Structure 1
Amino acid sequence: MSVSKVEKNTSAKHSKRQFDLFDFLYKYGTILTILVLIIIFASANPAFLQSNNIINILRSISIVTIIAIGITISLSVNGFDLSVGSTASLANAVVISMFVWYSQPTVLAIGVALFAALLVGALNSFLIVKIRIPDMLITLAMMFIIQGVALTYTRGATISQNMVMPDGSFATGLISPFFSQIGRVPWIIIIMLFVVFSVHIFLTYTKHGRYMYVIGGNAEAARLSGIPVNRYKILAYLLSATFAAIGGIVLASRVMTAEINAGGGYLMDSVAAAFIGFSVLGAGKPNAFGTFVGAVLIGILANGLVMMSVPYYAMDIVKGTVLALALALTYYKLK
C-alpha cells in the first residue's frame, strides 16, 4: 500500500472519529449540559438539589414551556410565530378583566380569552397563507399590534381586584377561587406536563402531526402528495395562538393580576427552548419533548444564577449565548 493511500485512510478514520464525536454532542449535548450545570450549581449551593427548589424550577418553566410548545407547532410547518408573547398578554388581560370588570364565571372568562387568541391565530394564518406575507415579518408586526390592542383594552393599567375604575369607583368583581388554583403547585406543573405529552403524541404518532413535519420539510412535495398544506398551516397558527393563550391564562392565575405586556418577557425564553429542542436526542426537528428539555435547561440556568447571586441584568447574556450555541449546533447539523 502506498504512503498516500495510508495517509488517506488515516485521514478518513480521523474524520470519522470527529464526526462521531460531533454527532454524540448533537444528540446528547443538551442533556449533558443540564447534568454539568446541576453538578456546578449543587456544588456551589447544596440547596439547589432540595425538593422545594426542584419544584420551584418546574413551576418557573411551566409558562415558558406551554408558550414554547405553541412555537414548536408553528416551526413544525416551517413557520415561526413571534406574536405568542403578545397573545399571552392579551389572554392574560382578557381573562382577569372578565372576573374583575364583568364578574363572569370561570368557564366563560377562560373561553373569551381563548376566543380572543384564536382570532389572533386566524388573522396570522390568513395573512401568511392567503396574502403570503412571510411569517416572521407578519408575526413581528402582529406582536406590536396585539400589544397595542392589549394596552388599549386595559387603558395601560394593571387589572386587579378592587382596582379604581375610570369613573372613580372600585371594581367589584372577584377572581374565582377555582381559577386561582390553576397557577399553583401541583396544577401548574400538571398542566405543563399534560401539554407536552399531548403535543408529543400529536406530532409524533398521529397522521396530522406527520403531515405537519412533511410540510415543514418540503411544502411543495407535500402538496403534490395530496396533503392540504394551507389547511395544516392554518391549524398550526391556531394551535400556536391557543397555547400562547393557555400560557397567559396560567400566568393570570399565578399572579392574580393582568400586568402591562405580561407575556412579552416569555418570548425570548420560549423561542430559545423551542430551538434548543431541535437537537435533543438527535431529533433534528421541532418536537415537544425537546422543547421541554430546552425549557428545563433555561430554568436551571436562571435558578442557578440567582442562587449564585448573578445580577439579573446579566442573565440575558447567558440565555442569549445558550440560544446562539443551540442555533449554531442545529443549523450546522442541518446543512
Structure 2
Amino acid sequence: MTEKQNEGAIRSKSSFDFFQFLYKYGTILTIILLIVIFSIANPNFLQLNNIINILRSISIVTIIAIGLTISLSVNGFDLSIGSVASLANAVVISMFVWYQQPTIIAIIVALLAALLVGLLNAFLIIKMRIPDMLLTLATMFIIQGVALTYTRSASISENMIMPDGSYAEGKIADAFGLIGKYPLIIIIMFVLVILVHIFLTYTKHGRYMYVIGGNEEAARLSGIAVNKYKVLAYVLSALLAGVGGIVLASRVMTAEINAGGSYLMDAVAAAFIGLSVLGAGKPNAFGTFIGAVLIGILANGLVMLSVPYYAMDIVKGTVFALALAITYYKLK
C-alpha cells in the first residue's frame, strides 16, 4: 500500500470514529448544548425547582413512551397509546366521581380497560395479520370514540352536572391525588424505567423480544414462542399507557376530553430518539428516558424564553430533526 493510500485509510478511520461518536452521544450532546444555551439565556434554568419541574413534566410522557419501547422491541408499533391513556384517565376519574369507588378499585378498573385494548390489538395483529401501524391507527380512533362516548363528550370532575340534572356526589380520594404530585410522580417514572430496562436487557424474555424484533422467522425457528411474546409486548404497551393516563388523572384531578392524545407524538419522539443513545441501536428504556429529557428540557426552556406557543412546534421539530440527524448519520 502506498503512502497516499495509507493517509487515505487513516483519514477514513478518523472520520468513521467521529461519526460513531456522534451516533452514540449525539442526543446527549444536544441536551448539553440546550442546557448551556438556556442557562445563559435565563440563569434560573438550572435552579433545583426548575429541574424538578422538568422531571415532573416528562414523567407521563416517559411512562407512556417506555410502553411504546416494549412494542418496538418486537418490531411492532403501537399508535393507540395516547387514546388508551385517555380512556384510563376517564375511567379512573369516573370510578370516583360517578360510582364512588375506593382508590384501589378505580385504578384496577382503569388498568383492566387498558389491558383489554392491548389484548384486542394483539389479537387483530397476530391472528388477523393486520399490519401493526395500520391496526393501531384504527384502534386509536376506536378507543378515542369509546372514551368520548363513555364520558358523553364532556370532562369529568367533582360536582359535575349529571344528565338528569343532579350533581355528582363522588369525591376523588386525597390519597389518589398524591400519585401525581412531587416526589411520587418522579419516583414512579424512575421505578418503571428501571424495571423495563432490567426486563428488556437482563431477562430471557426481554432478550427473546429483541430476537423477534431482529428476525421474527429466525426466532420462530429457534423455538421462541413468537406470538406469545408479541401479545406480551402489546399488553405491556397498553398497560403502561394506562398507567400514564392514571398518573395524568391524579395530576390534574379531572378527566379532560382526549387528555392523553397530546402525549402520543412526544412519546413516539422519545422512543425513537432513544434508539441509539450510547450506541444501543435498539429500543431501550434508558434511551427513551434520555429522549424524554430532551423533550422536557426543550419545552421548559422555550417557555422560560417566552417563545410564542404557535412557534414552539417549529423549534421543537427542528431540534428533534437535528438530534435524529446527528444520531443516525454514520459514515458508510
Which TM-score band (shorter chain)? over 0.9
Alpha-carbon RMSD? 1.4
TM (norm. structure 2) is 0.97
Identify which of 245, 259, 265 aligns with 1:248: 245
Instruction: Note the alpha carbon deviations across 1:234-260, whole angstroms, 9 max, x for none.
Output: 000000000000000000000000000
> In the alignment, what sits opposite 2:161?
164
- Give distance in 1, aligned partners of 2:137 and 2:206: 25
Structure 1 residues 22, 65: CA separation in 2 closer, same or farther (over 3 Å shift)? same
Question: How many aligned residue pairs are there?
Answer: 332
> In the alignment, what sits opposite 1:32?
29
Identify which of 208, 212, 215 aligns with 1:211: 208
CA contact (8 A) 2:19 2:329 kept: no
Identify which of 56, 66, 87 aligns with 2:84: 87
Measure how far apart 1:13 and its partner are: 1.7
Identify which of 95, 100, 114 aligns with 1:98: 95
Aligned residues with identical type, % of pairs? 79
User: Does residue 291 of the first structure (1) align with residue 304 of the second (2)?
Assistant: no
> In the alignment, what sits opposite 1:19?
16
Identify which of 136, 139, 147 aligns with 2:136: 139
User: Does residue 194 of the first structure (1) align with residue 191 of the second (2)?
Assistant: yes
> In the alignment, what sits opposite 2:306?
309
CA contact (8 A) 1:278 1:330 kept: no
User: Does residue 155 of the first structure (1) align with residue 152 of the second (2)?
Assistant: yes
CA contact (8 A) 1:274 1:291 kept: yes
- Give distance in 2, aligned partners of 1:105 and 1:236: 30
Identify which of 64, 69, 87 aligns with 1:67: 64
> In the alignment, what sits opposite 2:55?
58
In structure 1, runs of 5+ residues without a counterpart are none
Structure 1 residues 43, 327: CA separation in 2 closer, same or farther (over 3 Å shift)? closer
- Give distance in 2, aligned partners of 1:158 and 1:111: 21
* Counterpart AA for 1:223: R
CA contact (8 A) 1:272 1:294 kept: yes
Measure how far apart 1:12 and its partner are: 1.9
Measure how far apart 1:334 and its partner are: 11
CA contact (8 A) 1:101 1:172 kept: yes
Identify which of 199, 219, 222 aligns with 2:219: 222
Structure 1 residues 92, 271: CA separation in 2 closer, same or farther (over 3 Å shift)? same
- Give distance in 1, aligned partners of 2:328 and 2:117: 30
Structure 1 residues 41, 330: CA separation in 2 closer, same or farther (over 3 Å shift)? closer
Measure how far apart 1:328 and its partner are: 4.3
CA contact (8 A) 1:183 1:250 kept: yes
Measure how far apart 1:6 and its partner are: 3.1
Greater shift in the superposed pair: 172-181 or 320-329: 320-329
User: Does residue 112 of the first structure (1) align with residue 109 of the second (2)?
Assistant: yes
Measure how far apart 1:15 and its partner are: 1.6
In structure 2, runs of 5+ residues without a counterpart are none
